[in-house]
Structure 1
Amino acid sequence: MVKQLDDNLPPLIDHIGWRLTRLSRLWKAEFDAAMVARGHDWMTQAQGSVVGHLRNAGVPQGKLAGLLGISKQAVQQHVDDLVALGVVERVPDPADARARLVRLTEKGAAALGDSNAIKLDIEARYRARLGDDAFAALEQALDQLSEAGSGTTS
């Protein structure tokens, strides 16, 4: 016989984690829909995360695994997919003849520009809804929590 736990379960509490998760999901859904509308549906998939880590000169492919927190094999697949789409290219690393840099193509740079515009548009709507002072306070609070990291558990 299985003991019923329903009467003994602790209550579900409303907490900051739920609020942050809900807002993150809403933001991501809005961002993804706008990117799809601009023809960048690939940006809404896992490989799109690579783009945010690329700089003008490019990034060594081996470094992307650490930046993304994923395996080198996953990075390889993402970069292969993005190369096939014409979003990034692999070029020789002038500092290391054995290494390759991953950098944006013109198509990738255009998508990054669109993503920046979308992010600023979403941010402007949040600012308009909260007001300048409350929005600035939210940014400051989020930055403080991020800088503090996970902290310690008691």
Structure 2
Amino acid sequence: MVDDRMVNQVDDIRKGESRPGHELPVLLFAGFRTIIDRVHADLAEQGHPDARPAHGFALQAIGRGASQTEVARRLGISKQAAGKTVERLVALGYAERAGDVADARRKVVRLTERGADVLARSAEAFDRLRAEWSAVLGEERLRALEDDLRAVAEPGGFRLDAAGWIGGMG
């Protein structure tokens, strides 16, 4: 957690600026974290206490069915990382491995009923939280914020491999 009392040496050098550059990513991350934590608290209350943010991204990547390699590509992670994630989803009952009807040599990962349920409940929670933000900011300002973030975000989406750019986690 970042403490407002912490001193940033860059701030000391650039006195007089009311909004230092490092504040924007911290605020964006804080908003992201606020939403994600609230969604997962809701999911825990609704029978999904083991659901984690990475699981939601992976379940979205699986969609209507995908090979482990496709899951890795869609998430921008290694095949090994995708394999570990799929194993965890299978262990939690969110996904299952099955043979591909079109190609008997290929294994496909599919959502289980429990996996579809956690996605549906998380979508409802995201919608509730967006409505709360709209009530605080106003719908026009919230739409403008969303449009502005789309305009500056990296084209082509995002990658889930946060550990790679945070500096590794382990």
- State if a TM-score over 0.5 links the two structures: yes
Cα distance change on mapping 1:75 and 1:148 into 2, 3 Å:
closer
**Pairing 1:18–2:18 present:** no
Q: For 1:55 and 1:78, locate their aligned partners in 2 and report how far apart those are by CA, in whole Å.
A: 15
Q: Residues 10 and 146 (structure 1 numbering): CA distance in 2 closer, same or farther, change over 3 Å?
A: closer
Name the CA shift for 1:23/1:55 in 2 (closer, same or farther; >3 Å). same
Q: What is aligned with 2:63?
A: 55
Q: Secondary structure at the match of 1:144?
A: helix
Residue 76 of structure 1 aligns with which residue? 83
Does the 8 Å CA contact 1:87/1:105 hold for their aligned counterparts? yes
Report the Cα distance in structure 1 between the residues aligned to 2:121 and 2:113, rounded to whole angstroms: 12
Matching of residue 134 in structure 1 with residue 136 in structure 2: no
Per the TM alignment, residue 148 of structure 1 is displaced from its structure 2 partner at its CA by: 5.2
Alignment RMSD: 2.0
Partner residue in 1 for 2:46: 38
1:121 aligns with 2:142: no
Higher strand share: 1
- Structure 1 segments (4+ residues) deviating >4 Å: none
Give the Cα separation in 2 of the matches to 1:138 and 1:45.
23
- Identity among equivalent positions (%) equals 35
User: Secondary structure at the residue paired with 1:53?
Assistant: helix
User: Using a 3 Å threshold, how does the CA distance of structure 1 residues 60 and 118 change in structure 2: closer, same or farther?
Assistant: same
Q: Which blocks of at least 5 consecutive residues in structure 2 are unaligned?
A: 1-8, 13-19, 157-170
TM-score by length of 2: 0.73
Q: Which residue of 1 aligns with 2:115?
A: 108
SS in 1 for 2:107: strand
Could you tell me how far 1:147 is from its partner in structure 2?
Answer: 5.0
Residue equivalent to 1:5: none
- Residue number among 67, 80, 92 corresponding to 2:99 in the alignment: 92
CA contact (8 A) 1:88 1:104 kept: yes
Measured after TM superposition, the shift of residue 16 of structure 1 is 1.5
Alpha-carbon distance between aligned partners in 2 of 1:148 and 1:15, rounded to the nearest angstrom: 23
- What amino acid maps onto 1:80 in structure 2? E
Aligned partners of 1:27, 1:102: CA distance in 2, in Å?
28
